[in-house]
């Protein structure tokens, strides 16, 4: 049985149920699970673990490390069953988010390129068990991942025991798409040899000793589809501002043509803005990113993208059927890499990426909050945005200028949590307009951002703040006692607007 999926005869006897496999996990263990932006996640064993925790009635609490977010409500199930003591490095789950913000789950929010680097160095403790979704196990015991690579390769290499979930719903046609390359131990490490997005430098399977495979579970369930919303008028305007800016850069020789490889972050804004490039005048370009969303395939279909490198493929339901049903159409133009390669500072800086990521809010000096609602409550996590923004040749952050029908301004006097600071942010853009911050001092940035990016509802209020701040002087003027007044007002009244403005 499953000869095409489990080609290494020596491990075929390891097939078992998810419940049996979950018994390999004990209270207090560190577990690494596949899954990146809802793609290629382990779908059965974590569910069985939650069921066991519920039924056993004794403590079963673990540290769960993944590539990035999981699908199928797995984080909810684990949270509700009390299994998650510690979770890293990213999540997008509503139930888990609440537990994190209550302080019930310790959430370690990390740059996505760094988790396995720390794990490899022993800085996060020993990894007990890895759970890896695969399309197949090769003749030599190599694990062929599914729709994401994420941290799976290093998890399998570093864990004491490996559980493989063979997912029959994931097409075998994915085989050959992956490029598994793992850096050597420091300080004696060679350069990472990727110099073009299309370079293949590793193997197509995760090579580990087959005897480490402790259990194999058969599943048959597609990935959770992407929840990214379609483009709308505002994302169209943002895309328009960006395309104008990039054309201007090319025409002044500050960017090459074709453009440098593009990266776009997870979620609605970046996906919709990238999709807007289908109507752009640019020469066909490449993508070097972490997650490949619908927009990547839209741009391939439009002849705008010639090659895309990522750590995962996360698509809406409609696009899933179309892309995975006809993978031959795209496979020569795709590669999936470990996230420490897709997000590696070395490669990002070498290629000079254009990096497009979403801000929750930014301030008048160009500092960006990507993670903390109101400065205190975790939304999802920083993800790869820091890996890309720091090392890109042009780091762009996009957001709509207001949220909640105007009760929130996405441009504020001071962000109450800084994920990307003034040193790393080149361009901020909203549907109102774009501010090019490169080479500007903070006072210059403030004027430009207020003039170009702020919603009219808040523009005069920000001008007032900045004028008051100037009285205190400094490189980066602020009124310290008022810097978070907007956020505090939102906490207290449900709107950042003072009452007089709401009344008007």
- Cβ proximity to a copy of itself, 69 vs 367, nearer residue: 367
Rounded to a whole number of angstroms, the CA Rg of the chain reads 23
384 is in an annotated binding site: yes
391 is in an annotated binding site: no
- Cβ proximity to a copy of itself, 10 vs 201, nearer residue: 201
With CB under 8 A as the contact rule, the residue among 248, 318, 329, 349 that binds a copy of itself is 349
Segment 470 to 499, residues that bind a copy of itself, using CB under 8 A: 470, 472-478, 480-481, 483-485, 487-488, 491
User: Bridge-partner residues for 204, per DSSP?
Assistant: none
Name the phi and psi angles at 25, rounded to 5: -105, 120
Smallest distance, a copy of itself to C-beta of residue 225, A: 27
Rounded alpha-carbon distances, angstroms, from residue 127 to 21, 25, 185, 206: 16, 11, 17, 17
Smallest distance, a copy of itself to C-beta of residue 159, A: 17
Smallest distance, a copy of itself to C-beta of residue 485, A: 8
Q: Give yes or no for a cis peptide into 273 (omega within 30° of 0).
A: no
The active-site residue, picked from 133, 165, 290, 340, is: 290
Can residue 82 be called a binding residue for a copy of itself (CB under 8 A)?
Answer: no
With CB under 8 A as the contact rule, the residue among 32, 40, 210, 260 that binds a copy of itself is 260
- Quick check: 108 and 86 in contact, CB under 8 A? yes
Segment 263 to 282, residues that bind a copy of itself, using CB under 8 A: none
- Cβ proximity to a copy of itself, 119 vs 454, nearer residue: 119
The interaxial angle of helices 268-275 and 233-251, nearest 10 deg, is 60
Segment 172 to 211, residues that bind a copy of itself, using CB under 8 A: 186-193, 195-196
Residues 6+ apart with CB under 8 A from 182: 153, 154, 157, 202, 338
Residues 6+ apart with CB under 8 A from 279: none
With CB under 8 A as the contact rule, the residue among 352, 406, 457, 459 that binds a copy of itself is 352
Residues touching a copy of itself, count (CB under 8 A) = 88
Paired tokens of 323: 């892309």
DSSP 389: H
Segment 426 to 465, residues that bind a copy of itself, using CB under 8 A: 426, 438-441, 443-444
Nearest to 69 by CA among 420, 356, 378: 378
The interaxial angle of helices 294-301 and 268-275, nearest 10 deg, is 0
Can residue 55 be called a binding residue for a copy of itself (CB under 8 A)?
Answer: no
Segment 96 to 125, residues that bind a copy of itself, using CB under 8 A: 100-103, 106-111, 117-118, 121-125
Q: Is 233 a catalytic residue?
A: no
With CB under 8 A as the contact rule, the residue among 156, 382, 434, 450 that binds a copy of itself is 382
- Residue that the structure tokens 């015991």 belong to: 141
Residue numbering of the annotated binding site for CoA: 380, 384, 404
* Active site (catalytic) residues: 290
């Amino acid at each position: 049985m499953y000869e095409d999926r489990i080609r290494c005869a020596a491990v075929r006897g390891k097939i078992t149920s998810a419940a049996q496999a979950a018994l390999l996990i004990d209270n207090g263990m560190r577990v690494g699970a596949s899954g990146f932006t809802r793609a290629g996640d382990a779908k059965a064993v974590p569910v069985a673990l939650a069921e066991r925790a519920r039924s056993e009635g004794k403590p079963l609490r673990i540290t769960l490390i993944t590539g990035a977010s999981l699908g199928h409500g797995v984080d909810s199930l684990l949270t509700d069953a009390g299994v998650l003591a510690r979770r890293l490095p990213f999540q997008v789950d509503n139930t888990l988010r609440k537990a994190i913000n209550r302080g019930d789950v310790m959430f370690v929010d990390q740059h996505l390129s760094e988790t396995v680097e720390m794990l490899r160095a022993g800085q996060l403790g020993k990894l007990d068990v890895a759970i890896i979704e695969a399309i197949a196990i090769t003749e030599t015991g190599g694990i062929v991942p599914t729709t994401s690579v994420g941290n799976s390769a290093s998890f399998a290499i570093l864990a004491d025991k490996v559980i493989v979930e063979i997912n029959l719903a994931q097409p075998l046609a994915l085989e050959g798409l992956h490029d598994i390359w793992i850096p050597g131990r420091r300080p004696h490490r060679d350069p990472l040899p990727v110099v073009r997005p299309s370079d293949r430098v590793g193997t197509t399977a995760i090579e580990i000793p087959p005897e480490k495979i402790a259990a194999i579970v058969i599943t048959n369930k597609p990935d959770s589809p992407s929840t990214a919303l379609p483009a709308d008028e505002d994302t169209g305007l943002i895309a328009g501002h960006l395309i104008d800016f990039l054309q201007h850069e090319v025409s002044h020789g500050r960017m090459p043509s074709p453009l440098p490889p593009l990266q776009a972050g997870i979620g609605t804004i970046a996906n919709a803005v990238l999709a807007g490039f289908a109507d752009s005048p640019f020469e066909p370009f490449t993508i070097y990113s972490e997650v490949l969303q619908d927009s990547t395939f839209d741009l391939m279909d439009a002849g705008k993208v010639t090659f895309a490198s990522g750590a995962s493929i996360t698509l809406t339901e409609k696009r899933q059927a179309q892309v995975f049903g006809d993978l031959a159409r795209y496979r020569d133009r795709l590669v999936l890499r470990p996230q420490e390669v897709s997000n590696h500072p070395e490669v990002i800086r070498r290629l000079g990426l254009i990096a497009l990521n979403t801000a929750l809010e930014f301030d008048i000096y160009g500092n960006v909050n990507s993670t903390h609602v109101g400065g205190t409550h975790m939304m999802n996590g920083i993800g790869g945005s820091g890996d890309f923004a720091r090392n890109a040749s042009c780091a762009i952050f996009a957001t709509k200028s207001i949220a909640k029908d105007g009760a929130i301004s996405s441009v504020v006097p001071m962000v109450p949590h800084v994920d990307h600071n003034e040193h790393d942010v080149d361009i901020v853009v909203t549907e109102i307009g774009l501010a090019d911050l490169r080479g500007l001092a903070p006072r210059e940035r403030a004027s430009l951002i207020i003039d170009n990016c702020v919603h009219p509802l808040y523009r005069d209020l920000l001008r007032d703040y900045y004028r008051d701040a100037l009285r205190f002087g400094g490189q980066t003027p602020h009124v310290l006692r008022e810097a978070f007044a907007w956020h505090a007002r939102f906490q207290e009244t449900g709107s950042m607007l003072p009452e007089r403005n709401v009344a008007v």
